[in-house]
Amino acid sequence: MIEFCLLYPIDSVEDFLREYFHVSNNTLKYYFDKKFLKRAFAAHTVLQLPIDFVNDLQIYPLYEGPAIEIIFEDDLFLVMNKPANIFSHPLTYNEKNNCLSYLRQNRSEVLDVNSKKYDRGLLYRLDFETSGVLVYVKNDVDYLELRNNFNKVAKEKKYLCWVEGECKLSGTFKHFFKATEEKGKKIRVSEDNVRGDSQEGELIITPKTFKKEMNATLVEVLLGQGLRHQIRSQLAFLGYPLRGDLLYGGQVAERLYLHAESYKILFHNNEYVFLIAQDF
Q: What is the pLDDT of residue 224?
A: 84
Detail the DSSP E strand segments found in the chain: 2-5, 46-49, 69-73, 77-82, 131-137, 154-164, 171-180, 186-190, 199-211, 216-223, 258-267, 270-275
Cα separation, 220 vs 206, in Å, equals 5
pLDDT reading at 87 higher than 90: yes
Could you give the C-alpha distances from 11 to 14, 38, 50, 178, in angstroms and in order?
9, 8, 20, 45
Cα separation, 260 vs 4, in Å, equals 45
Q: % helix / strand / coil in the chain, to the nearest 5?
A: 25, 35, 45
Task: Please give the domain boundaries of the chain with CATH numbers for all domains.
Answer: 2-54 (no CATH), 69-148 (3.30.2350.10), 158-260 (3.30.2350.10)
- Integer-rounded Cα radius of gyration of the chain: 22
Q: What percent of the chain has pLDDT over 90?
A: 88
Which residues make Cβ contacts (< 8 Å) with residue 72, sequence separation at least 6? Answer: 78, 79, 274
Q: What is the pLDDT of residue 197?
A: 85
Asked if residues 94 and 52 have their Cβ atoms less than 8 Å apart, the reply is yes
- Name the nearest CA neighbour of 276 among 92, 142, 80: 80
pTM: 0.90
Amino acid at 236: A
Phi-psi category of 52—alpha, beta or left, where left has phi over 0 and alpha has psi -120 to 50? alpha
pLDDT tens per residue, range 89-104: 999 999 989 999 999 9
pLDDT reading at 279 higher than 90: no
Amino acid at 177: F
pLDDT tens per residue, range 159-205: 999 999 999 999 999 999 999 877 678 999 999 887 778 999 999 99
pLDDT tens per residue, range 132-159: 999 999 999 999 999 999 989 999 999 9
pLDDT reading at 106 higher than 90: yes
Cα separation, 229 vs 254, in Å, equals 19
Cα separation, 61 vs 93, in Å, equals 9
Beta bridge partners of 137: 77
Mean pLDDT, all residues of the chain: 94
Q: What is the pLDDT of residue 61?
A: 95
Cα separation, 133 vs 130, in Å, equals 10
Q: pLDDT grade, residue 75 (50/70/90)?
A: very high
Amino acid at 173: F
Q: What is the largest CA-CA distance in the chain?
A: 73
Q: What is the pLDDT of residue 196?
A: 79
Asked if residues 60 and 104 have their Cβ atoms less than 8 Å apart, the reply is yes
Averaged pLDDT for residues 19-44 = 92
pLDDT tens per residue, range 33-60: 999 999 999 999 999 999 999 999 999 9
Cα separation, 111 vs 118, in Å, equals 10
Q: What is the pLDDT of residue 155?
A: 94
Averaged pLDDT for residues 20-40 = 92
Q: What is the pLDDT of residue 185?
A: 84
Cα separation, 114 vs 213, in Å, equals 47
